[in-house]
Structure 1
Amino acid sequence: MPHMAMHGLVLSLLLILLAGGAESFRICAFNAQRLAQPKLAKKSVMDTLVQILARCDITVLQEVVDSSQKTVSLLLQELNRSDKTQVLSSYQYNDTDDVFAREPFVAQFTLPSKILPNVVLVPLHTTPKDVEKELNALYDVFLDVSQRWQNEDVILLGDFNADCASLTKKRLNSLLLRTKAGFHWVISDGEDTTVRASTNCTYDRIVMHGQGCQTLLRAAAPFNFPRSFQLTEEEALRISDHYPVEVELSKAAQGIQPFSWAILLLLLLLPSQLG
């Protein structure tokens, strides 16, 4: 991994599987803004984070800054768990050209649906100065994973920094993931994924590919946790300056056993260059 020698390490990816709903399941991405032990020491922060994470069946939690992994352990103590969910396979993308500040860690999950029995998640947290380059390279990651696992049902998600000063609308619309057929940006360009009232940017995204994903898609939107939990802006910023983004998929087939309460963690130590 080319960047492992850089100063500091970031525990930048935490994939959490929790209880599936009776009729649908949610896949979410959340930049928790430099999440570390001192932040979780505040009870209000811990309680709100647990509420946010417990809403989703699979969550990509980004910007966990703690090489000791104790922050993750603290979160796990507050969340129920079992071993009834399954990751079919996973790998870290081989970034031979050193394009990514944080090489994508890819995982394939089972899902409780006959129409879509499994799905691939490709999380990415871009660095603001190289947003366009990294997002175009994400198309190569898609090709790599779809060929490796023969799976076209792929969800690319995370803090893409895909708006405002980091990426103009013209450059956004010229991305390979916008011009190639089959990719659906389900978080609309006009959505605000930032907590501060002074900003209105769609940094965080979910991009879906594959007929199975499209067939089961119910809804996609940022989750305005300050409004849902009746927090002031100041209180919300203690959690993060980003909203989670989420996609809700239906369970089209009846009689499928829903997810029990479960957590599956995929942890990745990556460089601490944060955007």
Structure 2
Amino acid sequence: MKQMTMYFRLVLLLSIATVGLCNLKIASFNIKWLSVNKLSNNETLSIIKQIIQRYDIISIIEVRDDHAIHMLVQKLNMDNRDNPYGVVVSKKLGRNVHYTESYAVLFRINNVFVQEVHQFPDQDDVFAREPYAVMFHSLDSRPANFIYIVLHTQPTDTPAELEHMVSAYDNITNLMGIQDAIIAGDLNADCRYLSHTRHDNNLLYTDKRFTWLIDSDADSTVSTSTDCAYDRFIVAGDELKQNIVPNSARVYNFQQAMNLTPNQTNAVSDHLPIEVQIGN
């Protein structure tokens, strides 16, 4: 009996250790003009669902219709009853009354839960679409708590908006009480919107607290005529940096992975998602 008790204790300890080794797969995806109309195409909807189901957390950029994101989550959860998705959605963002969008962050509710959300109070109107922060608690990976900050810069204002992200990060992390954060989204951080010179001298790059994970020579666009790393992950906080899975930050080319035609791909987006794993 004593040997059996010791055996079960060993199994329990090994189980706990195994749980601690689980990784979270995180992504950001600019799904161009996400609307109910886009999701009404069954083929496009199927592709979008297949992409999202790769991830535990994913931010969706350019949500034009909030009803569409809730419809998408409902459709996703019909296929994921054992590990469904939850969603939080920002307010409508944008200076032009004729064009606004929301950020949505989807997450598997069995793996993480939302502790707090925060829409950055952009009193000086330095962001066309102000950052949206979600504080997550991870159930089986490290760090246990981290902030996911979504941003879609105005292309023509990209350098200035990225500079202001440093003070926005300070505001958000001071409010939420932790330093570990991922800044993610369509940052327009390459090519004509952010030259290599302006990138190298930008405060968000020169401040050593921040590490950029997607290289400038990556291509997060669908078009064969462009080669731009518009979409980026930028991480801060010692524990988060230590738990980034090496070589996991990359662009996911779903066109190649799913063997899609250009028309099928463009029906989804003109961007490719970026992904990274944490919890190593």
Q: TM-score range by the shorter chain?
A: 0.7 to 0.9
Higher deviation after alignment, 22-31 or 44-53? 22-31
* Alpha-carbon distance between aligned partners in 1 of 2:194 and 2:142, rounded to the nearest angstrom: 36
Asked whether the 8 Å contact 2:48–2:268 carries over to 1, the reply is yes
- 2:249 alignment partner, SS class: strand
- The one-letter amino acid paired with 1:237 is N
Q: Residue 173 of structure 1 aligns to which amino acid in structure 2? A: D
Q: What residue identity is the alignment partner of 1:91?
A: H
1:133 pairs with one of 145, 153, 160: 160
3-state SS of the aligned residue for 1:184? Answer: strand
Amino acid at match of 2:73: L
**Aligned equivalents of 1:115, 1:98: Cα separation in 2:** 35
Give 2:258's match in structure 1, choosing from 225, 229, 232.
229
1:206 deviation in Å? 0.3
Determine helix, strand or coil for the equivalent of 1:195.
Answer: coil
- The runs of 5 or more residues in structure 2 that have no matched partner are 1-18, 78-83, 86-108
Displacement of 1:107 in angstroms is 1.2
**In 1, are the aligned partners of 2:184 and 2:232 still within 8 Å (CA)?**
yes
CA distance, structure 2, for counterparts of residue 113 and residue 43 of structure 1:
34
CA RMSD of aligned residues (A): 1.8
Give the whole-Å Cα distance in 1 for the aligned partners of 2:257 and 2:240: 27
Deviation at 1:114? Answer: 6.1
| Residue in 2 that maps onto 1:23 | 22
1:49 aligns with 48
The 8 Å contact of residues 24 and 141 in structure 2, kept in 1 or not, is answered as no
- The alpha carbon displacement at 1:113 in A equals 4.3
Partners of 2:22 and 2:141 within 8 A in 1: no
TM-score for both structures, normalised by structure 1: 0.80
Cα shift readout 1:34-66 (whole Å, capped 9, x = no counterpart): 111111111110000001111111111010111
- Rounded to whole Å, the distance in 2 between the matches of 1:249 and 1:177 is 21
8 Å Cα contact 2:29-2:59 kept in structure 1? yes
SS at the partner of 1:86? strand
- Superposition pairs for residues 250-261 of structure 1, below 5 Å? 250=279, 252=280
* 1:192 aligned partner: 219
Helix, strand or coil for the counterpart of 2:122? Answer: coil
What is the DSSP-based 3-state SS (H/G/I as helix, E as strand, rest coil) of the residue aligned with 2:199? Answer: helix
Q: CA deviation at 1:149?
A: 2.1
Write out aligned runs for 1:132-211 (5 A): 132-211=159-238
Aligned length: 230
5+ unaligned residues in a row in structure 1: which ranges? Answer: 1-19, 253-275
Partner of 1:108: 135
The structural deviation recorded for 1:171 is 0.6
Q: Identity rate of aligned residues, in percent?
A: 33
C-alpha distance in 2, partners of 1:76/1:115?
26
Higher relative contact order at CA 8 Å, sep ≥6: structure 1 or structure 2? 1
Larger Cα-atom Rg? 2
1:123 corresponds in structure 2 to 150
Does 2:68 match 1:71? yes
